Each structure stands twice: as structure tokens, then as C-alpha cells.
Structure 1
Amino acid sequence: MRIGEGVEWAAHCLLMLDWMGEDRPVPTARLAAGFELPPPYLNKQLQALVKAGLVTSTAGARGGFRLARPLEKITMMDVVAAIEGPEEAFQCTEIRSRGVGADSPASALRRPCAVSTAMRKAELAWRRALAEQTLADVSAAVKRGAPEIEETVRAWYARN
């Protein structure tokens, strides 16, 4: 399974919105500058976060984005689903009914496909693990390794 870079960008932006501690909306260009990302592409990720209810958006010259809820209420699965969509990663196409299996009786296909079952079991475990981790957990892990992160982020954005 491959997850697009938009998930990484979205998760980092959510953390930044929290760490910046600003009372006003943060424009896309300002967030993008902190990661040297193209603002139009980042805006696409931010709009997906709005649609998922993870951030709010304010239009206009003083507009931008802010967290819709605290990091404790946002899971990593919320971020993945917002950016990648809620669809299952594995799609069984019943390949066992073709080629060698084309002449198999219909009863042989009534049992769940073992490959599909294994993939769904693994994906469910992955989704549960992501749903158990909040962005507050991620933020705490970052702060354990870099206790000055909030101060560093605020100082950088104050200069730029």
C-alpha cells in the first residue's frame, strides 16, 4: 500500500496550525512557506481537510485555515481518509474465476477468497492502528525529541 505525500503534508500542516498558536486563520501561502511546498497543491490538501471537518476555512484577504477541533480529537486515520478517501485499499476482482478457475463450479466461489480475506484482515489492523493514534500523540512524540518545536515554529513564522 502506498500513501501519497498529501497525507504527510496534511498531517504536518495540522501540527503546525496547533504549534503556531495563532488566533487568526493562517493563509495557505504562509503554511506552504514553512515546508517549501507549492501553495496551490497544498491548498488542495487543505481543502480536503476542510471537507473532512478537520480544519475550517475563512475566505478573503485575511482568510486562511485553522483547526476545527483539538489535536486530541483528530486521528491519523482521519487524516488518511481525508486525503486518500475512505475506500478500501485492496479491491478483490475474483481473479480465481478466470483461467484455471474458469471451469470451477459456482460453489467454489461461495467461500471467501483467501487472498482477499488476508488483505482485508491486514488493512483492518492498519486502519485500527491509525485510528488509535491522535495527532496529539504525534505532537507529544515530536516534542519528546524536540522540546523546543513550538517555540522554533513560532519564531520561524514570525520572521517569515
Structure 2
Amino acid sequence: MQYSVGVEYALHCLVYLIDVPSDKSVGIKDLAEFQGVSETYLSKVFGKLSKAGIVSSVPGVKGGYRLSRKPEDISFWDVIEAVEGSKPIFQCKNIKDNGYLYRENCCSAPSFCTINSVMLSAEEKMRDYLRSKTLAWLNEELDRVLPKHIRKDTREYFSKSN
């Protein structure tokens, strides 16, 4: 299982948008430059975030993006699902039905696959955990673990750009 780097870029950029006043926005150029990623790539990621209602785009010369919801209402899972889609990680192919005993009609297949059940249950536990972590939590955690000057410089960078 692997999430694309787009999820990481999205989470970082969304944290930068937390302190942007509701009447302002941050341009994709500034976000991309700060992250060291192409504008084209980040635009695709933000298109998905916009479609999911996590950010809203502001048109025009001074346009850009801002959060559409409060940071405490945006979970890691919301971001992952927006960027990656909602397809389950484990894709059961019912290979048990191709086993020797089932091919020879010696046994009837059970109504469900135990392996699939375990995998889906594990995925749900992971989703629940990711739903419990929000942008507000991430913002507080970054304030706790990063040097103060890094947070200050980051906030200043984005306050000048909007």
C-alpha cells in the first residue's frame, strides 16, 4: 500500500492555508515555489481538493486557494480520499473459487471470503485513525515539534503572498 506524494504535498499546503484570512487566498505559484514542486502537478492536486470541497478557488490576478472548511473539519482521510479516490486498498479477486476443491465441485464456496473480511476490517481501522487526525491537530503538532522560527518564517512567506 502506498499513497502518492500528492497526499503529502496536499497536507503540507493545506496547513499553510490555515492562517490565511477568509477574504484572502494563496496562489498555486507561491505554494508550488515554497514546496519545490511544479505548478502543473500541484494544480492537479488542488483541482482534486477543490472538487472534494476541501479548498475553494478564487479567480483573478490575486486569485488562488483558501480552505473551504474549518481545519478541525478536514481530516487526513478527507485529503487522502480527495487525492487518491475511494477505492479499497485490498481488491479481493475471489481466488478461492478457483481452488481445486471448488473447481471439482467437491465443496461449495462460503458466502464470504475470510481474507477479504480481515483486510477490509484493517482498512476501516486505518481510515478511522486517519479520520481522527485533522488539519487543526497537524497545525498544533507542527507548532510543538518544529522550531519556532520555521513556523514564523513559513507564516510570513504566505502572508506576504496574499
**What TM-score, normalized to structure 1?**
0.89
Asked whether the 8 Å contact 1:17–1:67 carries over to 2, the reply is yes
Q: Who is 2:62 aligned against?
A: 62
SS at match of 1:57: strand
Unaligned runs of 5+ in 1: none
Q: Who is 2:103 aligned against?
A: 102
Unaligned runs of 5+ in 2: none
Mapped partners of 2:155, 2:79: distance in 1: 23
Asked whether the 8 Å contact 2:48–2:82 carries over to 1, the reply is yes
Q: Who is 2:121 aligned against?
A: 121
Offset at 1:146? 2.1
Asked whether the 8 Å contact 2:16–2:155 carries over to 1, the reply is no
Deviations 1:100-135 (CA, angstroms, capped at 9, x unpaired): 24224573232x212111111110100000011111
Offset at 1:28? 0.5
SS at match of 2:35: coil
Identity over aligned pairs, percent: 35
Mapped partners of 2:119, 2:79: distance in 1: 22
- RMSD between superposed Cα atoms in Å: 1.9
SS at match of 2:109: helix
The letter of the residue matching 2:133 is: Q
Q: Who is 2:14 aligned against?
A: 14
Q: Who is 1:36 aligned against?
A: 36
Asked whether the 8 Å contact 1:20–1:153 carries over to 2, the reply is no
